[in-house]
A and B are shown apart, each in its own frame.
Chain A
């Protein structure tokens, strides 16, 4: 682990770029590159020939009908699944030999479609697990309660509360994570992911189960997070208002294949996408 350079702790200093500049990342190397990525489960090809590049501070969307393979892409990016084919480069580094934990330390953090919190632990402790590598005291210091333990814990706890305050959750710090309402659990997953100091945040259906007002708060917060932390965000979402509202680039999957890529306007007008995805939805809504 130690050969990886320690990234400096992100500072929570707001920057003024609220205006979205699509090519502001153009002159910098992409944070994520996927080349011909694919995975088979037995005989089933779940994802095939998936190519993607994400800019340093881009908000990208990954959409597609149920079972298209979106979550599977996230699972490959985080090495929960080992891709059958293709290359993933994080910040130019090949991840083929890395574990999930190593990929996290390279700067990818994620949330889960089916919430995966540490349910028996407190809200603050969930975030503190995310801050694990930000603390540098060793086990003997913890057992003997040496000064560097107290210092590390104090700084981490302050940081945890600061991160929770993004979603105004600092008052719930001592509640048990499993006892939170659904929407708060989803937000806690985002905070926990942010605690790892990522450069790319993957959100798997962050608005699922949220009501319209929660969703609109979430949209503001996703943009706010990008602006505060200067990170790239890729999200999977079925809520088209959210996707079209905040994503700068969108990638559409259908049956494991990319059928379209482009800006929200391009995607909205793409006949293939309308046919595969939006069309069905419109029909459903019309009924």
Chain B
């Protein structure tokens, strides 16, 4: 380990840590130590970890604010649900269907990321924040207008923007099944998401992000973040590299969304609102911009915390706020940093990411 480059060692430790957590949780579940409610949190935690990692690619590595990351998650969730439900008969294998759902969710979210990116990423300034904010809200409303059902003739989709149509208008046959019922969201979904799938998705996301960061593409993206004019002056195409980062970020959020959507039998689009986008942004900022390990830790802790505090009722959000402030102080104060630096394995300090 000693002769590895610092970042390689650091990343290796992150992967080993993840693997240890995976094994420990699996063993605990096998012995029935984890209760039902704790087990129920595992898949959403994985999804939010992937959300935080992918948003960190946009905010930390590309250096642009995105306020609609939940929108990509929503696209992934509902396309994932449609894929999984409509392939029910054709593909009986649950893992295969889950993979197909996540792939299609990622592709659709990536396409939307690309479409948003075309006009916005060529502009200078904080336009991405504004446009993604609007996008997140709009996509939520659009999904609310969807009526989707499936029967042996294939998918039936109505875009019910006037709100006048109902499920009957889908004209499904006897054996048909409604997948998305407008404002009621997806109902009767077969929940096929698993913790193992979640962990694999985290590994894959982290692997891809880190391998991109430590490559010519990643350096180009970070160079644009650090100094746009200088990056251009050495021949880096700005829009193209921003697009790569943004589309990857959107696609990963889509995959996380598909997994999330397939964890519940009922899901409404309102879940993917501005609050969710901000929640993920808080994970990223508190975990440290560009710091992937920090994103993972922040996402896990800050997602579990409010759930763990549920018994405290009214004081819940108060404690949550205090913890946020404490974490913020801890990650930013030099004293706390030097204190934590002592616990870092084999690092001489100072070579901060």
Contact = CB atoms under 8 A, between A and B. Distances in A.
B318 interface: no
Contacts of A29: none
Contact of B219 (A105, A125, A139): A125
Contact of B230 (A1, A112, A139): A112
Contact of B217 (A116, A139, A145): A139
A57 interface: no
Nearest to B226: A118
Nearest to A120: B226
B211 A145 contact: yes
* B208, B218, B226, B233 pick with most chain A CB within 10 angstroms: B233
A133 interface: yes
Interface in A134-157: 135, 137, 139, 142-145, 149, 152-153, 156
Interface string A78-104: 101000000000000000000111101
A100 B211 contact: no
Contacts of B215: 137, 139, 142-143, 149, 153
A273 interface: no
A119 B226 contact: yes
Contact of A132 (B208, B229, B235): B235
Contacts of B158: none
Interface stretch (A11-19, A188-196, A215-223): A188-196
What class of interface size applies to chain B in its complex with A?
20 to 34
Nearest to B235: A104
Interface in B238-260: 238, 244
Interface string A152-166: 110010000000000
A80 B235 CA distance: 12
* A109, A132, A192 pick with most chain B CB within 10 angstroms: A132
B211 A142 contact: yes
Contacts of A149: 215
Contacts of B229: 80, 100, 112, 116
B222 interface: yes
A120 B290 CA distance: 11
Nearest to B289: A120
B227 A116 contact: yes
B307 interface: no
B237 interface: yes
B233 A109 contact: yes
B223 interface: yes
Contacts of B197: none
Given A142-B217, A143-B208, A80 B226 contact: no
Given A116-B227, A119-B226, A139-B212, A195 B219 contact: no
Nearest to B63: A120
A129 B211 contact: no
Contacts of A119: 226-227
A31 interface: no
A174 B231 CA distance: 20
Interface in B327-353: 351
A128 B233 CA distance: 14
B227 A139 contact: no
Contact of A129 (B223, B238, B244): B223
Contact of B234 (A109, A142, A144): A109
B212 A143 contact: yes
Contact of A104 (B6, B212, B227, B234): B234
B220 interface: yes
A30 interface: no
A104 B232 contact: yes
A149 B212 CA distance: 11
Given A78-B233, A104-B233, A116-B230, 9 more contacts: A100-B229, A101-B236, A117-B226, A121-B223, A139-B244, A149-B215, A156-B216, A174-B6, A195-B234
7 contacts: A101-B236, A101-B237, A104-B235, A118-B223, A126-B223, A139-B244, A142-B217
